[in-house]
Amino acid sequence: MTPVISKLPQTGTTIFTVMSALASEVGAINLSQGFPDFDTPPKLIALVNAAMKAGHNQYAPMAGVVALREQIAEKTEKLYGAVYNPETEITVTAGGTQAIFTAITATINPNDEVIIFEPAFDCYAPAIKLAGGIVKSLELEPPDYRIPWAMVKRLINNKTRMIILNTPHNPTGTILHREDIDELTAIVKNQDILLLSDEVYEHLIYDGETHHSMARYPELRQRSFIVASFGKPFHATGWKVGYCMAPEFLMSEFRKVHQFLVFSVNAPIQYAIADYLRDESTYLSLPAFFQEKRDYFRKGLEQSRFKLLPCSGSYFQSVTFNGITDEKDTDFALRLTKDFGVASIPTSVFYTRGTDHHVLRFCFAKRQETLDKAVERLLKV
Q: pLDDT tens track of the chain, all 381 residues?
A: 888 889 988 888 888 888 899 999 999 999 998 899 999 999 999 999 999 999 999 999 999 999 999 999 999 999 999 999 999 999 999 999 999 999 999 999 999 999 999 999 999 999 999 999 999 999 999 999 999 999 999 999 999 999 999 999 999 999 999 999 999 999 999 999 999 999 999 999 999 999 999 999 999 999 999 999 999 999 999 999 999 999 999 999 999 999 999 999 999 999 999 999 999 999 999 999 999 999 999 999 999 999 999 999 999 999 999 989 999 999 999 999 999 999 999 999 999 999 999 999 999 999 999 999 999 999 999
pTM for this entry: 0.96
Rounded Cα distance between 282 and 262, Å, is 28
**Rounded distance between C-alpha atoms, residue 174 and residue 144, angstroms:** 7
CA distances from 334 to 18, 27, 172, 278, 348 (A): 10, 13, 20, 44, 13
**Superfamily per CATH, domain 15-40+284-378:** Aspartate Aminotransferase, domain 1 (3.90.1150.10)
pLDDT in tens, 61-84: 999 999 999 999 999 999 999 999
Q: Which residues pair with 163 in a beta bridge?
A: 115, 195
Residue ranges covered by each domain of the chain: 15-40+284-378, 43-279
- Which SS3 state, helix, strand or coil, does residue 90 take? strand
Report d(CA 20, CA 40) in Å as an integer.
Answer: 20
User: Where does the chain have alpha helices with state H?
Assistant: 15-26, 42-53, 66-80, 96-107, 124-130, 149-155, 178-188, 218-221, 248-261, 267-276, 281-284, 286-301, 329-340, 368-378
Q: How far is CA 10 from the centre of its chain?
A: 23
Q: Radius of gyration (Cα) for the chain, nearest Å?
A: 21
Evaluate whether 352 touches 137 at the Cβ level (below 8 Å). yes
CA nearest neighbour of 166 among 101, 126, 211: 211
- DSSP tally for the chain: helices H, then strands E: 14, 13
> Burial, 261: exposed, middle or buried (Cβ in 10 Å; 0-12, 13-18, 19+)?
middle
pLDDT in tens, 260-308: 999 999 999 999 999 999 999 999 999 999 999 999 999 999 999 999 9
Give the CATH fold of the 43-279 domain. Aspartate Aminotransferase; domain 2 (3.40.640)
Q: How far apart are CA 147 and CA 118, in angstroms?
A: 10
